[in-house]
Amino acid sequence: MKDLMKSLELSLAASPVSVQVQLPDGKRLGAKEPEVRLGFKDRLSMVALAMGEIGNVGAAIVEGRVAIEGSMRHLMTVATSLLKFDPTNESGGWWHRVVQRTRSMAAHTLLHDARNIQFHYDLSDDFYALWLDPRRVYSCAYYRTQDLSLAKAQEAKLDHICRKLNLQRGERFLDIGAGWGGLLLWAAEHYGVDATGITLSKNQYAHVQRLIEERGLGDRVRMKLVDYRELKTDEPFDKIASVGMFEHVGRAQMVRYFQTVHDLLRPGGLLLNHGITSGGVDNAQLGAGMGDFIERYIFPGGELLHVSTVQRDMALGGLEMVDTENLRPHYAKTLWAWSDALEARLDEATDILNRQYGEEKGGKALRAYRLYLAGSAIGFERGWIALHQMLAMRPNGDLQTGVMTGAQSVYPFTRDYMYAPRESVASGQSETTSSTTTP
């Protein structure tokens, strides 16, 4: 134990942010006037810190066994400095992957997935509204220019997706995992599509239903509380988007997921799959206890795959990838914006969660989200996780479809159309690539 504490002292001294640790017996290690203070109530949490198991330390913070003082940005700097290895290299070998796949098959039933989605997304609409943008877009923003506000960057993301899908007036558009309706309503109001959104979150479903009524869009926008595997339609969709949803699908279900999307999409149509991917090729989750933390407190049942695995499964599902963009730094910037917004309104967040869940459970939820947002921002900055937008098509076998011989879809096989000025359905005016329009 002495050797472990000596190693910890050396690590604390090497931290780029001054830090002080108080041991269970009251002894203090590290800086006398620190930027970050950690107060430990048990030896097990101390051992986790000394060994660089920062996810387990995070769990101890959530459970109230470790007290923290200091900003989330400083705390994350300290945490990463204490890591002993690259958390994306913890693959566990082939047997571990077999076990993970078996667990994935058992975990992602219709019942389990519904419970997991509601665990996260039905936490509290008022809580999410504190730190998301006004549209409550809960996915990576697109900072077309670095000086964009979070709200404008989210609008830019919504438009970026619609442009990639080349949405046209009157097309049938499906949003899988539609969240609080940001993309669904943007596509309907700015591109004139007939839009369907699906979700498993009861709160999100109710929220979007209200927005549809308030905006008088009931004739061409609808929201359904249904699993993607159980969605029935008399006519396939022209375009499909899935944003921040396929992380919940599970490794064992991924090929089936893309097969289902294939069947929902008309031949020649396009899919835009926007989601988090793992930074490591083989790891089933982040090491150092971080993956376990996310599974326990934030996204039960969530699984990340490397982009190469996703593209393989996409091909096995009958879809052809035609364009892929990595927005990893954009998500780091988005998460820091969310984290800073939550930190600025901690008193309000405490009141909301305590009122809904009581002080003990509400306090745990708030501590978990503070660590989750800031920790995820660091993860994207460091490349432990990434965010890929993958545009794919369902080939129709017709070599004369589209503008290029052999395209077999409406995709033009150049990117020019994604950035060219267009006329907004909402404004009736020409828009440049650097602007967005608010309905």
The tens digit of pLDDT for each residue in 67-85 reads: 999 999 999 999 999 888 8
Phi, psi of 95, deg, nearest 5: -65, -40
Give the separation between CA 157 and CA 23, rounded to whole angstroms. 46
Place of tokens 């660089």: 52
- Name which residue leads in pLDDT, 11 or 380: 380
DSSP state of 365: H
Residue 1 has pLDDT above 70, yes or no: no
The tens digit of pLDDT for each residue in 227-263 reads: 999 999 999 999 999 999 999 898 889 999 999 999 9
The tens digit of pLDDT for each residue in 340-383 reads: 999 999 999 999 999 999 999 999 999 999 999 999 999 999 99
Average confidence (pLDDT) over 295-306 = 83
Amino acid at 155: E
pLDDT of residue 430: 52
DSSP state of 313: H
Instruction: Using CB atoms within 10 Å of the CB of residue 357, give its burial: 0 to 12 exposed, 13 to 18 middle, 19+ buried.
Output: middle
Tokens of 169: 């007036």
Lowest-pLDDT range, 139-148, 288-297, 312-321, 339-348? Answer: 288-297
The tens digit of pLDDT for each residue in 114-127 reads: 666 666 667 889 99
Domain range summary for the chain, segments of one domain joined by +: 2-81, 106-431
Count of alpha carbons within 13 angstroms of residue 196, beta-carbon side: 20
Is the Cβ–Cβ distance between 301 and 112 less than 8 Å? yes
Q: How far is CA 57 from CA 41, 72, 159, 367, 380, in A?
A: 12, 14, 40, 12, 20
Place of tokens 């359905």: 425
Is the Cβ–Cβ distance between 266 and 73 less than 8 Å? no
- How does residue 403 score in pLDDT terms, banded at 50, 70 and 90? confident
Give the separation between CA 301 and CA 116, rounded to whole angstroms. 7
pLDDT of residue 101: 57
pLDDT of residue 120: 67
CATH class of 106-431: alpha beta
Q: For 236-274, what is the HEC assignment?
A: CEEEEEEECCHHHCCHHHHHHHHHHHHHHEEEEEEEEEE
Query: Which of 3.40.50.620, 2.70.50.30, 3.30.1050.10, 3.40.50.150 is the CATH number of 2-81?
Result: 3.30.1050.10
Residue 397 has pLDDT above 60, yes or no: yes
Q: Whole-prediction pTM value?
A: 0.91
